[in-house]
Amino acid sequence: MTWLDLAPGEPFGIHNLPYCSFASRGMRAVGVRIGDQVLNLSGAEEATLIDAGGALAGSSTVDRFLVAGRPTWSRVREQIIALLTDEHRRPAAQRLLSPFADDETGLQMPFAVADYVDFYSSEHHASNVGQIFRPGQQPLTPNWKHLPIGYHGRAGTVVVSGTDVIRPAGQRMPADAPAPVFGPSTRLDIEAEVGFVIGTGSRPGTAVSTDDFRDHVFGVVLLNDWSARDIQAWEYQPLGPFLGKSFATSISPWVVPLDALEAARVPAPAQDPPVVGYLTETDRYSYDLTLEVRWNGTVVSRPPFRTLYWSPAQQLAHMTINGARLRPGDLFASGTVSGPIRSQTGSFLELTWGGTEPFTLEDGSSRTFLLDGDTVTITGTAPGPNGSVLGLGEVTGTVRAAP
């Protein structure tokens, strides 16, 4: 039991402890969230209350902590729990606690993104997009059930929750038009996803086995892969998404450590046909994460992560099977999380079926794609130990007009 006074059912209790980079009184530090406060971990290591081998003292992001590796991550987590539960250490720990603003404005990018990769692992999403983008054809491409399809995104435009998203301009090809037109996107969309943060890297030429997932992955973030569907539809064949996605990708300020998600492990869906050797798993599992998408405050969907066809371990094995190395700070995202029904879709493309079925928000206004001034917030929860529920925080962003 923690000595902190937490409400029953607190989603940021002692079993969660997500990491962040926060600003307080003119300094930046690494912290973990407990209730509505942040415990300054950089200060805790400087005061020798915890020992991360120097990876947290003087740090403003988790970059050096990511390099430290699984044994250090787990040991420091136990030290933090001890600090917040041992009554004798309460006076020392209390000096390192500070409230953070509800709007999370004091929170920064928790780590420097090295490479960013995004997958396409939901069969429901891929099938929906296939029907909308390529009507009359097979919705799933012939490769879809043999490998987790992905593309390389743009690490430099991954931004922290709360950052405004400027409507991108680009080329689009209107139906029946003689030539493409240029201008601000008219079909700006979201993709509700979960991102996985790599800590321990790998050597060039070496593939990472599905069994080694936990050795390399530090934790998870919520992720919004903002997507300009009109730009994407015109540019994506044959090399995949490019400028329709690279303008902005938002992540939550909290990195929930994998150690917090042990109780959320669930079997991943069965796969048919069987997958090739490097994609097989001795212990095939996913995580029971439920996302919630709000459009200007109206809940429009609750995408279930556990329904994804390709597991996170398969995604990691696939992205390294050619020998491409991992670096600390690499970020790979699950792809849009969509369940089998309309109220579980992770994109507005699906929610409004290509813009043909407008959605009515609680204020009575109607939407197909995003308008300037619209705000999208994705939150998430996971089951914790003993029937508790863990919060994954939120990733939010507001659309601003193209300049």
* Closer residue to Mn ion (CB): 39 or 378: 378
Q: How far apart are CA 90 and CA 85, in angstroms?
A: 8
Q: Which two tokens stand for residue 269?
A: 């869906």
First to last CA, the chain: 52
- Per CB under 5 A, the segment of 33-41, 141-149, 203-211, 222-230 that binds Mn ion is 222-230
Catalytic option among 15, 125, 216, 318 = 125
Q: Which two tokens stand for residue 204?
A: 């060039």
CB of 116 to Mn ion, least distance (A): 11
Q: How far apart are CA 395 and CA 143, in angstroms?
A: 32
Counting contacts by CB under 5 A, is residue 189 touching Mn ion? no
Q: Are 264 and 285 in contact (CB under 8 A)?
A: no
Give the residue, chosen from 191, 330, 350, 394, that forms a contact with Mn ion under the rule CB under 5 A: 191
Q: Which residue is nearest to Mn ion (CB)?
A: 225
Q: Are 322 and 214 in contact (CB under 8 A)?
A: no
Closest CA to 381 of 318, 319, 317, 292: 292
Counting contacts by CB under 5 A, is residue 225 touching Mn ion? yes
Closest CA to 196 of 222, 161, 215: 222
* Closer residue to Mn ion (CB): 30 or 293: 293
Q: What are phi and psi of 34, to 5 degrees?
A: -135, 115
CB of 241 to Mn ion, least distance (A): 8
Q: Are 78 and 119 in contact (CB under 8 A)?
A: no
Q: Are 302 and 345 in contact (CB under 8 A)?
A: no
CB of 336 to Mn ion, least distance (A): 5
Q: Are 219 and 255 in contact (CB under 8 A)?
A: yes
CB of 400 to Mn ion, least distance (A): 21
Binding mask 105-144 for Mn ion (x = CB under 5 A): -------------x--------------------------
* Closer residue to Mn ion (CB): 149 or 258: 149
| DSSP state for residue 167 in the 8-state scheme | P
- Per CB under 5 A, the segment of 26-34, 61-69, 191-199, 302-310 that binds Mn ion is 191-199
Counting contacts by CB under 5 A, is residue 350 touching Mn ion? no
Q: Which two tokens stand for residue 274?
A: 């069987």
Task: Verify whether residue 125 is a known catalytic residue.
Answer: yes
- Per CB under 5 A, the segment of 71-79, 190-198, 318-326, 358-366 that binds Mn ion is 190-198
CB of 335 to Mn ion, least distance (A): 5
Write the burial class of residue 30 (CB in 10 Å: 0-12 exposed, 13-18 middle, 19+ buried). buried
- Per CB under 5 A, the segment of 163-171, 224-232, 247-255, 268-276 that binds Mn ion is 224-232
* Closer residue to Mn ion (CB): 118 or 350: 118
* Closer residue to Mn ion (CB): 21 or 128: 128
* Closer residue to Mn ion (CB): 13 or 244: 244
Beta-carbon contacts of 103 under 8 Å, excluding residues fewer than 6 positions away, are 162
Q: How far apart are CA 194 and CA 335, in angstroms?
A: 8
- Chain positions 290 to 309 lying near Mn ion, rule: CB under 5 A, are none
CB of 398 to Mn ion, least distance (A): 20
Instruction: Cite the active site residues.
Output: 125
Q: Which residues bind Mn ion (CB under 5 A)?
A: 118, 191, 225
